[in-house]
Structure 1
Amino acid sequence: MSVARPLELELALPVDPPAEDRRLFYDFSGRVVTEVLRDALPQVISVDLASSDRRVSVALDGPHGPYALSFERRRVSASNPHQLLVLMVFTSVLMTGIAMIFLRNQLRPIRRLAYAAEEYGKGGSCLSPVRCGRAAQRGHRVPGHAQPAGAPERPAQADDVWNQPRPAHAADADEARAVDDRARHAA
């Protein structure tokens, strides 16, 4: 008795122990508590976790007959195991957000490269959709792009890209595209 009080244990002598272990059906940690107590103490007759949510009552077989040892549940299991689930969900949402930011930053150069490859295949020399789009909005001629409607004509300069002849493959590609467009509209 003198040892049980400092350890915050309640000791009851004699006791009529239940025949089997008791726990609530949703108490998953209770199953582990029962197994650990049975493995650590061979004198365990039964473990009662159902009569009180906050206390564990263990019936033991002693030299003077069965006795019950009762202590707080927080000493053998987590008091709020749902915090693990909340932490897991929060961490997964945070990591998904970071991954989306990284993927978006990786997709931008790939899109620009795809646009540049498409323009190069069409015979154009504009490598950036942003720069080409801004130049066309200001009314400037952009190499490889059609002149915007209503844009003023610039005087020809010696080093102007527009004064240089287009490569043959660009003209062939334009002709093939025009034939494809006419065939599509005819169908």
Structure 2
Amino acid sequence: MVDVMAMLGRYFEGAGLEIVATHGRVVAELALAVGHVASLSPEECTFIQEAAMLHDIGVCRVSAPGIGALGPHPYIMHGILGREILEREGLSQHALVCERHIGVGLTIKDIADQKLPLPPRDMVPRTTAEEIICFADLFFSKKPDRLSHRAPPERVREKLSGFGKDKLQIFDAWMERFGAALQVGG
């Protein structure tokens, strides 16, 4: 078992720690509800809980003053920065969740078309656990006054619609597979 709060505490303090920990907790709660509906094993659920709590650890290195993050990098880089951190911590599977959780995943084409400051590689969820955490994350903001508020699926679809039909298709497929947990988890 990973002591996620101790790990987050090594990278965040004050309001930043509270925001990232609270966001991670609500994402983990929904992800675990999905895991239970999907009949995942206890080991898979433990991984999901840990990885969901740590998925935004890279925020400690980005510039997002509204959530207490005063690092030098653009926010879009928090996934790859989190991967670097967790790989150094010896958590290679958790690290992949960090890199692959942005939106419904980023493709090489997305990175090139949007001219994102990211390495040119696919960063899309590949395992069920990665998909579940990515799905759960879509419903929660890190805005301090909205941390525990879960957005309705319609709002998530609306936000994703600006990124193309392919992103909506991924979300809709996840709703088919995981959406029942929205009733259980909420």
Q: Which has the higher helix share?
A: 2
TM-score of the alignment, normalized to the shorter chain, above 0.5: no
Q: Which has the higher strand share?
A: 1
TM-score range, shorter chain: under 0.3
Higher-RCO chain (CA-CA 8 Å, sequence separation at least 6): 2
Q: Normalising by structure 2, report the TM-score.
A: 0.21
